[in-house]
């Protein structure tokens, strides 16, 4: 049959809509959604025929097209954002939602989102207030600084700070710190959007204090230090200390800004992790403004946190951009709840999931891995091999590149499917399970698996490998 004959033989929209499965959807989803789905299916079939890619005979019936439209309606009407199991071993996984929120932050979100709140009202006077008052003093106190401000993310924090303090002026940065950090976030691009003029100094691997000094001019607004975050430079390198840069800036009466990227409020070397700067250290060195993320090592909600001198923070709050970049009431609720956990060092690590995953003892991980392995051996056919392997986890989130945490892996391999196919099946299970592929196996890293997720992994494994 030719193209035109096939096109003429296609069922009408009404005949597809009359299919029982689509009629059953009436009243549960808008009719317009059903109609749009039917038209989309017909359009796809027409395009396929016109391209010369002839469809199978069974695809052309009204029932077959109704089934496709039905699946499309369900896909559109079902929640897109779903809970998944993170068995990748990457603790701050940027693709899987970054930091898992503490229980107190989860409760705070539910409480504030379920009713009205005093977001911008002073309850003592009844007058309008600032939403920053709910976290400002607490965050500043934890960072040992004068003031603080939260915006949408760390890129927004850098943008607001530079636009406020250096628009139309020069910002001096080492060439080795002009980084790109995921999602096409490039420091030179952010500076340009902020209206600052970039002045590059030094070389990729070696920058001296004299390079900064020679670049200073009457147009210099600030010297910016950028933590490399997601890469590490080793070998023939040189960089002045933060204190040296601060002293130089003070002599010439210019500001110093330090972008920490992930940022941490505690020393992570206690867990064998080295190289991640602490916010308090930058403040003690005399830096005027420090920026970092709320949803990475801090373990809270997505936010860009700016701490430093109160007069500079006040300038940023008056910038019209601050309103465009401000955080919502639910973010403030989660941020405040997370920050309050830092007031109690004795319970901090176990209270914040990000820190708990980092600090998780290897014997505990191994015990959980052995338990999952035993359960999988019982429920899977003999042609599926289930092994226990040694491996390493990563912090992720652009933090601590090259630093690894020892872990235990449950490894799956099967005669009927390769590791990439097994990974695909697990991702499409209910709930989706994300692991990683290595050593010709599908690997489940138990460091990032919660206890209640063991049964979910077992259920997913039965779905994808039992038959």
CA 457, CA 183: separation in Å to the nearest integer? 30
CB 190 within 8 A of CB 155: yes
Tokens of 456: 């979910």
Give me the phi and psi of 416, to 5 degrees please: -85, -15
Q: State pTM to two decimals.
A: 0.90
Taking residues 411-431, what's their average pLDDT?
Answer: 95
- Evaluate the CA torsion angle 223, 227, 230, 232 in order and state its sign: positive
CB 306 within 8 A of CB 149: yes
CA 160, CA 100: separation in Å to the nearest integer? 27
Taking residues 94-112, what's their average pLDDT?
Answer: 97
Higher pLDDT, 46 or 56: 46
What pLDDT is stored for residue 357 in this prediction? 98
Whether the per-residue pLDDT at 1 is higher than 70: the answer is no
Peptide bond into 431 cis (omega under 30): yes
What pLDDT is stored for residue 369 in this prediction? 98
CA 337, CA 104: separation in Å to the nearest integer? 6
Collect contacts of 208-211 with beta carbons under 8 A, ≥24 apart.
208/238, 208/240, 209/240, 209/244, 209/245, 209/248, 211/174
Tokens of 258: 């330090």
- Calculate the CA 392 to chain-centre distance: 21
103-351 is classed CATH 3.40.50.720: no
Local structure of residue 466 (DSSP, 8 states): -
Whether the per-residue pLDDT at 466 is higher than 90: the answer is no
Which of the four pLDDT bands, split at 50, 70 and 90, describes residue 3? confident
Judged on CB neighbours under 10 Å (0-12, 13-18, 19+), 245 is: buried
Nearest one of 289, 291, 285 to 243, comparing CA atoms: 285
- 165-169-172 Cα angle (round to 5): 90
pLDDT digits (tens, 9 = 90+) for 112-153: 999 999 999 999 999 999 999 999 999 999 999 999 999 999
Local structure of residue 169 (DSSP, 8 states): S
CB 260 within 8 A of CB 292: yes
As a residue count, the chain comes to 467
Instruction: Name residues whose C-beta falls within 8 Å of residue 329's C-beta, 6 or more positions apart in sequence.
Output: 112, 113, 117, 119, 131
pLDDT digits (tens, 9 = 90+) for 292-335: 999 999 999 999 999 999 999 999 999 999 999 999 999 999 99
Taking residues 199-207, what's their average pLDDT?
Answer: 90
Domain boundaries, given as residue ranges, for the chain: 3-77, 85-92+359-465, 103-351
Instruction: Name residues whose C-beta falls within 8 Å of residue 464's C-beta, 6 or more positions apart in sequence.
Output: 422, 425, 426, 428, 429
Q: Which fold does the domain 85-92+359-465 belong to in CATH?
A: 3.90.1150
CB 461 within 8 A of CB 379: yes
N-term to C-term CA, the chain: 39
Whether the per-residue pLDDT at 215 is higher than 90: the answer is yes
pLDDT digits (tens, 9 = 90+) for 325-354: 999 999 999 999 999 999 999 999 999 999
Nearest one of 326, 325, 327, 291 to 308, comparing CA atoms: 291
- Evaluate the CA torsion angle 252, 255, 260, 266 in order and state its sign: positive
* Alpha-carbon radius of gyration of the chain: 27
Whether the per-residue pLDDT at 65 is higher than 90: the answer is yes
Nearest one of 399, 349, 376 to 446, comparing CA atoms: 376
């Amino acid at each position: 049959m030719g193209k035109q004959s096939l096109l003429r033989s296609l069922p009408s929209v009404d005949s597809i809509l009359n299919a029982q499965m689509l009629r059953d959807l009436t009243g549960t989803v808008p009719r317009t959604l059903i109609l749009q789905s039917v038209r989309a299916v017909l359009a796809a079939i027409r395009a396929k025929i016109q391209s010369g890619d002839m469809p199978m005979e069974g695809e052309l019936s009204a029932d077959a097209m109704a089934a496709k439209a039905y699946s499309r309606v369900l896909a559109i009407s079902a929640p897109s954002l779903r809970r998944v199991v993170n068995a990748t071993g990457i603790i701050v996984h940027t693709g899987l939602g970054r930091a898992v929120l503490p229980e107190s932050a989860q409760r705070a979100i539910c409480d504030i989102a379920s009713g009205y709140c005093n977001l911008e009202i002073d309850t003592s006077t009844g007058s309008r207030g600032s939403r920053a008052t709910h976290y400002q003093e607490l965050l500043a106190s934890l960072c040992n600084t004068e003031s603080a401000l939260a915006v949408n993310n760390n890129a927004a924090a850098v943008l607001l700070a530079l636009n406020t303090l250096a628009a139309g002026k020069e910002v001096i940065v080492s060439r080795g710190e002009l980084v790109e950090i995921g999602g096409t976030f490039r420091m030179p691009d952010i500076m340009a959007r902020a209206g600052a003029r970039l002045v590059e100094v030094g070389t990729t691997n070696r920058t001296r204090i004299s390079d900064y000094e020679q670049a200073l001019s009457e147009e210099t607004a600030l010297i910016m230090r950028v933590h490399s975050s997601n890469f590490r430079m080793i070998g023939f390198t040189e960089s002045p200390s933060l204190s040296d840069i601060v002293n130089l800036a003070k002599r010439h009466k210019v500001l110093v800004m330090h972008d920490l990227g992930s940022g941490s409020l505690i020393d992570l070397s206690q867990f064998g992790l080295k190289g991640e700067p602490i916010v308090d250290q930058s403040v003690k060195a005399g830096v005027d403004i420090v920026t970092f993320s709320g949803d990475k090592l801090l373990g809270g909600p997505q936010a860009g946190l700016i701490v430093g001198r109160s007069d500079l923070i006040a300038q940023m709050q008056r910038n019209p951009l601050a309103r465009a970049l401000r955080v919502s009431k639910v973010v403030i609720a989660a941020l405040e709840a997370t920050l309050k956990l830092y007031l109690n060092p004795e319970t901090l690590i176990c209270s914040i999931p990000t820190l708990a995953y980092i600090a998780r003892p290897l014997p505990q991980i191994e015990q959980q891995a052995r338990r999952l392995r035993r359960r999988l051996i019982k429920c899977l056919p003999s042609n599926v091999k289930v092994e226990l392997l040694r491996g390493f986890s990563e912090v992720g989130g652009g933090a601590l590149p090259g630093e690894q945490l020892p872990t235990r892996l449950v490894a799956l391999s099967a005669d009927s499917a390769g590791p990439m196919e097994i990974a695909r099946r697990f991702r499409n299970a209910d709930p989706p399970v994300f692991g990683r592929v290595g050593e010709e196996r599908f690997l489940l890293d138990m460091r990032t698996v919660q206890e209640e997720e063991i049964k979910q992994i077992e259920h997913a494994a039965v779905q994808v490998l039992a038959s």
